[in-house]
Structure 1
């Protein structure tokens, strides 16, 4: 099943997962989803993996959900399809290491949802983003009605999800849909460089920040309790020991060093 996803390591501590269905512009069907689930489980279990890049082969991120595979479903089939999608969504959203999406070429519907579940989106000259759900009589899925407003605001999210217009890189960056515009540069190369930079972050602290931002506290009291829990764990951990040593020695911290020693 992993034939639908290409896995390589383009930089130290960085794993790259490419949707490999070029004949369908990397449209996402059951086989692609299952392949990505298995690929993510594989790389996330690798202690040497500290960042992930998502993309597609032949300069296309993905045309989105495979529309013909959606036709003819009964309610049970539709629910089973969504359950499978959500299994993949959880792996991306809950990734303990940063996920960078290299949005090359066309990126529509489900593919935008997939990118939004990650932590950093890179666009460029070739990027074309589209939300086609209204034309199909469907609502956005893959968590998009939560992730998109969190990035761009409710009013902007409503506009771009209902007007059917293509979004190019400059607008994506302007409204907060993307984090980096590679411009004339190679989108994938910029995404790999970004992932390599994020791979140097302290993994546990990054994951805790990510969880706190995704699941905001209901009150200051809850937030202060979460702060206490996080700092109590981190202040006694290996990353803080390295961070404090680097601070004392007036050098940059090397948070990759503990994982390398563990793999020795």
Structure 2
């Protein structure tokens, strides 16, 4: 679904609570690849069909037949998470109902997380005898801090919407019927920012935020290029003219 410069991507396997089985993972990867190259899409909203973001991994397909199959499965999951995290456009998660397991990993690599009052984040891994997947050991700690992430992942207790907001796992809580509209409004605002700068900020946070030295090296690499863009000149002129800039992505 397209709303202006915002494309809404829906995890749509409602009768199975949008479990992230192989077919849905592959469909999502294909859509993300298309959106990455789509000049008409300025921002993306990721949501789930019905009253559930996603029930996470497909337990009916577990365990894999052997370790090789298990390794292949985890490579697929890693590829999806990396692709979503590295998308060169802002991504807003719209979470209504539960987001479980690997689906919580997808949420954690989104740029902004809007949740409904009835949203719940489920991290059942230690109750199942598994290690957290979907990049959660890293991405959850990035969002809520290492100590809180450790407790959440070890305890495997549900995290409700208000607790998620207080912890930093969610950025905004709204009434359940307003989740998608609030996420689209947020994405529309982000789509108005300079596309090249947005992509650079996302890359910097992803690759160069481990130390001050890495951050400064990243700035030295990227800023000279951005100084020479039409978007910077437009942003500077709009600033002086006190108007909303109109960016072209070049």
- TM > 0.5 between the two? yes
- Which of residues 227, 232, 236 in structure 2 aligns to 1:240? 232
SS at match of 1:254: coil
**TM-score, with normalisation over the residues of structure 2?**
0.95
CA distance in 2, matches of 1:55, 1:218: 30
Q: How does 1:32-43 map to 2 (within 5 A)?
A: 32-43=24-35
Q: Is 2:90 the partner of 1:98? A: yes
SS at match of 1:102: strand
SS at match of 1:96: coil
Q: How many residues align?
A: 250
RMSD: 1.6
Residues 30 and 194 of structure 1, relative CA distance in 2, 3 Å threshold: same
Q: Is 2:107 the partner of 1:115? A: yes
**TM-score, with normalisation over the residues of structure 1?**
0.90
Residues 84 and 220 of structure 1, relative CA distance in 2, 3 Å threshold: closer
- Which of residues 188, 194, 199 in structure 2 aligns to 1:202? 194
Q: How does 1:120-139 map to 2 (within 5 A)?
A: 120-139=112-131
- Which of residues 48, 67, 72 in structure 2 aligns to 1:75? 67
SS at match of 1:59: coil
Aligned residue for 1:157? 149
- Which of residues 68, 73, 77 in structure 2 aligns to 1:85? 77
Residues 24 and 185 of structure 1, relative CA distance in 2, 3 Å threshold: closer
CA distance in 1, matches of 2:60, 2:42: 36
CA distance in 2, matches of 1:218, 1:190: 32
CA distance in 2, matches of 1:130, 1:17: 22
SS at match of 1:178: coil
SS at match of 1:186: helix
CA distance in 2, matches of 1:194, 1:248: 25
Residues 219 and 33 of structure 1, relative CA distance in 2, 3 Å threshold: closer
Structure 1 gap ranges (5+): 1-7
Aligned residue for 1:231? 223
The answer to which of 177-186 and 105-114 deviates more is 177-186
CA distance in 2, matches of 1:121, 1:216: 22
